Structure 1
Amino acid sequence: MELKFNNLLINALSLWPEMVDLSEIVRGDNKSELYSVAGLFPLSEKIITSCTISAEEILLNNLHDALYEVIHGVAIYTTKIRMSDLRCETICMKFERRLNNALHMPDLGYMAEDIQLINEYFIVNKK
């Protein structure tokens, strides 16, 4: 089982298209800063679903959620994004924030083996 962040990221990025179309922004109203990107959430969910048979499922799901968050954030500024242009540091920061939430917020309901794997991830990826 590979727990190094860079290797997890390479694995995760291989499941995403090389280029993601962000051209259709949907807003509730013109004054709202909230928006969604047409097709982005279903794409992300399809990718996450493909990870459910992996031993690293909990890590990969959180990594794909972090990728989604980063992509969604840039969508307001561009109509497409090449996945290779995303900053690894930003993805890692959002990913590790999610993992820390899993460790420190028991109400999120992570199982003991998930918590153990997350702890192992942090041991391997000491900063």
Structure 2
Amino acid sequence: MNYKFDNLLKIALKDWPVDIDLSEIHYSKNDPSKYTVKGLGIMSDLISEKYIGSPDEVIFRNLHQSIYAVLHAAAPNVWAIKISNIRHASVRNRFEKHLKIGVENSEIGYSREDILLCSKYFHENSD
């Protein structure tokens, strides 16, 4: 597989609906800076579940979590978003940060294969 970020993101974005509804936000009563977007977390979980047990699980589950985070951050500012309109750089920054944390922190539990795959990813994207 080609582990260039743009290729991985292209694959991952196909897993998401074209249009994402972000209209129903529920703010925390204790901290109005915290909120949930109805259905977004469940959607993300269902999308990334298909990668559990796959050789590329560490890549695609982290990538989908990063897509979710970008969508979640956009929610207070938009009613809906086309998945093709998310900024690739925002997803990539979050994605690579999560991979590095997983590789560097043994408590996260990445397997040897996961760490090797992350190393392969960073090697192919060192440009």
Q: How does 1:25-64 map to 2 (within 5 A)?
A: 25-29=25-29, 32-64=32-64
TM-score normalised to structure 1 length: 0.95
Identity, % of aligned positions: 36
Aligned residues: 127
Query: What is the CA-CA distance between 1:82 and the residue it aligns to?
Result: 0.6
- CA–CA distance in structure 2, aligned partners of residues 52 and 31 of structure 1: 33
Moved over 4 A (4+): none
What's 1:124 paired with?
A: 124
- CA–CA distance in structure 2, aligned partners of residues 4 and 121 of structure 1: 7
What's 2:101 paired with?
A: 101
- 1:99-125 Cα shifts (integer Å, max 9, x gaps): 110111111111110001000100000
- CA–CA distance in structure 2, aligned partners of residues 121 and 31 of structure 1: 37
Letter in 2 for 1:118: C
- CA–CA distance in structure 1, aligned partners of residues 79 and 54 of structure 2: 32
TM-score normalised to structure 2 length: 0.95
User: What value does the CA root-mean-square deviation take over the aligned residues?
Assistant: 1.2
Structure 1 segments unaligned to the other structure (5+ residues): none
Structure 2 segments unaligned to the other structure (5+ residues): none
Are residue 65 (structure 1) and residue 76 (structure 2) matched?
no
